[in-house]
Amino acid sequence: MRDCSTNRAGFDRVLMAVAATFLAVSATSAIAGPSDTPRASAAELAIDAAIPRPEPANVPPPAIGDFKIDSTASMPDPTRATAKPNEPTSTATIPDPAPKPAEIVTAPSKTNDTAIPPPAAATATPATATAPAVEPAREPVKAASNVAPADQPVADRIREMLAAKSLRYFVRRNERAAVEKFYSAREYAPQWTQAGKLTDSGKGVIARLKGAAADGLDPAEYPTPDFAAATSPDQLAEAELKLTSSMLDYARQAQSGRMHWSQVASDILYPEHPTDPAEVLANVSTAKDAAAALDSYNPPHKLYRDLKAKLVELRGESEGPVTRIPQGPALAYKAATKKQGAVVPEDERVPQLRAKLGIHDNADDTKYDAQVAAAVRKFQNSVDINPTGVLDDRTVKALNSPKRDRQIDLILVNMERLRWLPRQLGAASLGNAYVILNVPDFTLKVMQNGQPVWTTRVVTGKPGKHATPMLTETMKFITVNPTWNVPPSIIYNEYLPALQQDPTVLQRMGLRLERKRDGSIHISQPPGEANALGRVRFNFPNKFLVYQHDTPDKHLFAKEERAFSHGCMRVQNPDQYAATLLNITMPNERYTPERIRSMYGRSEIDLKFPTAIPVNITYQTAFVDDAGKLQTRKDIYGRDAVMLNLLKNNRNKDLEVMVSHAQPSYARPRDPLPPGVNFASDNTFSSGPNFFERLFGGPSQMTPPAPVGRRPQQRFTR
């Protein structure tokens, strides 16, 4: 019932008005006599409309609290009270100075769960002051479940397990939240099973996890539960969440790596690209092919795909232990000729050989046919054996050689490093154009639309504190005729000790020596032919303060191993490099190497790119060349050894301590300059014939004096 707050005086006036109307009607009826037909008055109709009589009769009559004063209530026209169904009606308001009783709201009857309707007269008569009936509070009705009856016990158990704080499968907060939301949205119905049987989606996920070795990952890190042994709701719910946990682990490590790059060295910096567990769950659960959807979290780069194929080839199969081939007679396939048919020897070792070389067709066939011979020929070529296609003792030994295990390890760490690179190299700019520099290979490539458009040799940083960092940044502009601002680390570790021996050495070498307001020393070299940066500098701002540049010393490019710089990368043909980049960013300008060289002089010129080009500095000691051959390079910085140790032995130890590197710094003496040193004035210094030769005594003595103290956390710029 509606709670009315009518005051007592107002209610008394209502009763008096009703009583007066009732007496007037009674008197009129008495005068008319029994032969007259009773006729409802406007007041009676108003009362009938305002106070509906409940049916059945056992409902208690309205009480005083059921009345509500409403001065806006209108009375229906009594002449239209019996209007026909299709006849238009109108209402007439009867003025009444006294407040009118409002509608009485009665509680619906509980009989047969159906509310008792109001009297017909009340419903047929329009009234402007009406109020909807208020339903009493009822017990909440549980919505019909979309979970199959056979899966409901499992769903109930999944709900309980996810509600438990002790659930151990999802230790990462974002994964726990994503899993709870995922299962809540599906009313906790299992994703991987239906009626206790594995779904196609569940089978696909399990197949991908068991084949993780082919991706350079460890299947042991993604355990798959035995659903066949899970017979109870508890066991099925536990298996469900275990598989979900392993799937999320696989996606995360496939995309970002089994280790973070910061665990390997302090001079590595790549953009983060972690997986979104909610996206993984949605993607895999809705995919037609769950295995393919999960596999898509591996790197899409060609570098990765080529190494993956080579890994399968080296292992002889996509997963499991390495197969060993027994020694035996040489096997040679000979194609059919006009004089005789094909020679197809048989040997009991051939099925093992097929598995070793990744041949899945006719896996149990003992015939050394054309397909097997072709695979043997391909393997021989990869290990520098004459590709005859004959399975001889040397080939069998190479197949079983421990060297292959080392090659596998080498591929594994390089596949891991490729997971750190951006998912799409240069995908967001200039038709997939980007620069990639491989430090241990000492080469730089400009890539566009997946193909190399230009390649050159580079000189990279010396092992130790001068190592070239691994990073991804964007090149924003090129500087022709750059000024070399010598980093403080070189100033305090190398040049100031040289000044102690000869106070005039910097001036004679064409270097500008200045003292700043804070007392620090600044040394720079003006643009010129002998500038340490050469004629062109390629700028991609980064925290390590390294860049790519020209050099006046070209003879080092003739060496096979070219790790000689202080961390920056010297480019062999900077004019061609600049023209290539400028033609990608500004194709209508038609830059040529000759046009770049025409800008050489003594004033800096900045050539800004309309769109930045990504620069990726990588460390690939194993890669597949254009001929499909596995290439390996010397681990000049010792990165492979550190990563193998992490992958195999020490993943659960204090990795930061194990791989900690001394942060570079430098010692800054209070008064580092000896007497007789002249500071730069406005005079122009001669650049000299060759800065490095004059400072360090000739091209055969390129190594500077031994560092003094520790240098700052930055890279040298030459």
Read off the tokens for 234: 């508890």
pLDDT digits (tens, 9 = 90+) for 625-638: 988 889 999 999 99
Pairing of strands 630-632, 622-624: antiparallel
Higher pLDDT, 676 or 576: 576
- DSSP letter, residue 78: G
pLDDT given for residue 636 in this prediction: 94
Q: Are residues 526 and 621 in the same domain?
A: yes
Query: Using CA atoms, how far apart are residues 670 and 520, in angstroms rounded to an integer?
Result: 9
Q: Are residues 372 and 471 in the same domain?
A: no
Q: How far apart are the first and last CA of the chain?
A: 89
Q: Cβ-count burial of 1 within 10 angstroms (0-12 exposed, 13-18 middle, 19+ buried)? A: middle
425 contacts 614 by C-beta, under 8 angstroms: yes
Residue 321 — very low, low, confident or very high, per pLDDT cuts 50/70/90? low
Domain boundary among 124, 158, 191: 124
pLDDT digits (tens, 9 = 90+) for 299-313: 998 999 999 999 988
- With CA atoms as reference, report the closest residue to 632 among 466, 408, 299, 358: 408
pLDDT at 16 over 70: no
Say if 399 falls within a structural domain.
yes
Pairing of strands 605-618, 434-438: parallel
SS3 category, 170: coil
Q: Cβ-count burial of 648 within 10 angstroms (0-12 exposed, 13-18 middle, 19+ buried)? A: exposed
Domain boundary among 234, 265, 298: 298
pLDDT at 117 over 70: no
Total tally of structural domains belonging to the chain: 4
Give me the half-sphere count of Cα atoms (radius 13 Å) on the Cβ side of residue 518.
4
Domain boundary among 256, 282, 298: 298
pLDDT at 273 over 70: yes
Output phi, psi for 460, to 5 deg.
-115, 180
Q: Are residues 682 and 542 in the same domain?
A: yes
SS3 readout for 179-225: HHHHHHHCCCCCCCEECCEECHHHHHHHHHHHCHHHHCCCHHHCCCC
Query: Using CA atoms, how far apart are residues 348 and 22, in angstroms rounded to an integer?
Result: 117
Residue 46 — very low, low, confident or very high, per pLDDT cuts 50/70/90? low
Query: Using CA atoms, how far apart are residues 591 and 583, in angstroms rounded to an integer?
Result: 6
pLDDT given for residue 49 in this prediction: 55
Say if 703 falls within a structural domain.
no
pLDDT at 4 over 80: no
The residues, ordered by sequence, that sit 6+ positions from 394 with a Cβ below 8 Å of its Cβ are 385
Residue 658 vs residues 263, 264, 418, 646: alpha-carbon distances, Å:
9, 9, 22, 9
Residue 262 — very low, low, confident or very high, per pLDDT cuts 50/70/90? very high
pLDDT at 414 over 90: yes
State which H helix or E strand residue 447 sits in.
strand 443-448
Output phi, psi for 275, to 5 deg.
-75, 155
pLDDT given for residue 307 in this prediction: 96
Query: Residue range 484-490: average pLDDT?
Result: 82
pLDDT given for residue 116 in this prediction: 43
pLDDT given for residue 20 in this prediction: 53
Say if 427 falls within a structural domain.
no
Q: Are residues 389 and 443 in the same domain?
A: no
Q: Are residues 550 and 685 in the same domain?
A: yes
Higher pLDDT, 708 or 237: 237
pLDDT at 449 over 90: no
Query: Using CA atoms, how far apart are residues 156 and 189, in angstroms rounded to an integer?
Result: 8
pLDDT at 517 over 90: no
**Amino acid in position 561:** E
Using a cut of 0.75, tell me whether the model's pTM lies above it: no
**Amino acid in position 607:** L
- With CA atoms as reference, report the closest residue to 414 among 658, 660, 659, 633: 633
Task: Classify each residue of 219-249 as buried b or exposed e, where b means 16 or more C-beta atoms within 10 Å of its C-beta.
Answer: beebebbebeebeebebbbbbbbbbbbbbbb
Residue 455 — very low, low, confident or very high, per pLDDT cuts 50/70/90? very high
Query: Residue range 533-557: average pLDDT?
Result: 94
Residue 514 — very low, low, confident or very high, per pLDDT cuts 50/70/90? confident
Read off the tokens for 361: 């067709």
pLDDT at 513 over 60: yes
Q: Are residues 409 and 448 in the same domain?
A: no
Q: Are residues 408 and 438 in the same domain?
A: no
- DSSP letter, residue 650: -
SS3 readout for 142-161: CCCCCCCHHHHHHHHHHHHH
DSSP result, 523-579: EEE-SSTT-TTTTEEEE---TT---EE--S--GGGGSS--EEESSSEEES-HHHHHH
pLDDT digits (tens, 9 = 90+) for 337-361: 888 888 999 999 999 999 888 888 8
Residue 134 — very low, low, confident or very high, per pLDDT cuts 50/70/90? low
Residue 138 — very low, low, confident or very high, per pLDDT cuts 50/70/90? low
Read off the tokens for 434: 């980007």
- With CA atoms as reference, report the closest residue to 535 among 602, 437, 458, 474: 602
Output phi, psi for 268, to 5 deg.
-125, 135
Higher pLDDT, 460 or 105: 460
Q: Are residues 278 and 333 in the same domain?
A: no
User: Tokens 């509608």 map to which residue?
Assistant: 103
47 contacts 119 by C-beta, under 8 angstroms: no
Read off the tokens for 665: 């710094």
Distance of CA 60 to the CA centre of its chain: 69
Q: What angle do CA 179, 181, 184 make, to 5 degrees?
A: 105
717 contacts 546 by C-beta, under 8 angstroms: yes
Query: Using CA atoms, how far apart are residues 99 and 12, in angstroms rounded to an integer?
Result: 10
pLDDT digits (tens, 9 = 90+) for 358-372: 888 888 999 999 999
Per the prediction, the chain carries an average pLDDT of 78
Q: Cβ-count burial of 451 within 10 angstroms (0-12 exposed, 13-18 middle, 19+ buried)? A: exposed
Q: Cβ-count burial of 470 within 10 angstroms (0-12 exposed, 13-18 middle, 19+ buried)? A: buried
Least confident piece of the model among 82-86, 432-436, 558-562: 82-86
Q: Are residues 574 and 681 in the same domain?
A: yes
Query: Residue range 623-651: average pLDDT?
Result: 89
pLDDT given for residue 136 in this prediction: 55
Say if 705 falls within a structural domain.
no
Query: Residue range 101-114: average pLDDT?
Result: 42
Query: Using CA atoms, how far apart are residues 565 and 704, in angstroms rounded to an integer?
Result: 11
Query: Using CA atoms, how far apart are residues 163 and 477, in angstroms rounded to an integer?
Result: 55
How many residues in total does the chain contain?
718
pLDDT at 498 over 90: no
501 contacts 629 by C-beta, under 8 angstroms: no
Say if 189 falls within a structural domain.
yes
pLDDT given for residue 539 in this prediction: 96
Distance of CA 489 to the CA centre of its chain: 37
- With CA atoms as reference, report the closest residue to 665 among 709, 717, 610: 709
Domain of residue 163, residue span = 149-298
User: Which CATH number belongs to the domain containing residue 606 in this structure?
Assistant: 2.40.440.10
- DSSP letter, residue 663: P
pLDDT at 688 over 50: no
Say if 704 falls within a structural domain.
no
Q: Are residues 551 and 473 in the same domain?
A: yes
User: Tokens 């020490």 map to which residue?
Assistant: 650
Residue 703 — very low, low, confident or very high, per pLDDT cuts 50/70/90? very low
Q: Are residues 277 and 163 in the same domain?
A: yes
Query: Using CA atoms, how far apart are residues 506 and 173, in angstroms rounded to an integer?
Result: 58
pLDDT at 420 over 90: yes
* CA dihedral over 311, 317, 322, 327, signed as positive or negative: negative
pLDDT at 685 over 90: no
Read off the tokens for 591: 């830059």
Say if 611 falls within a structural domain.
yes
Query: Residue range 412-434: average pLDDT?
Result: 79
Partner residues linked to 524 by β-bridges: 485, 512
User: Which CATH number belongs to the domain containing residue 358 in this structure?
Assistant: 1.10.101.10
Say if 96 falls within a structural domain.
yes
Q: What angle do CA 464, 466, 470 make, to 5 degrees?
A: 95
- With CA atoms as reference, report the closest residue to 303 among 170, 417, 156, 178: 417
Q: Are residues 82 and 215 in the same domain?
A: no
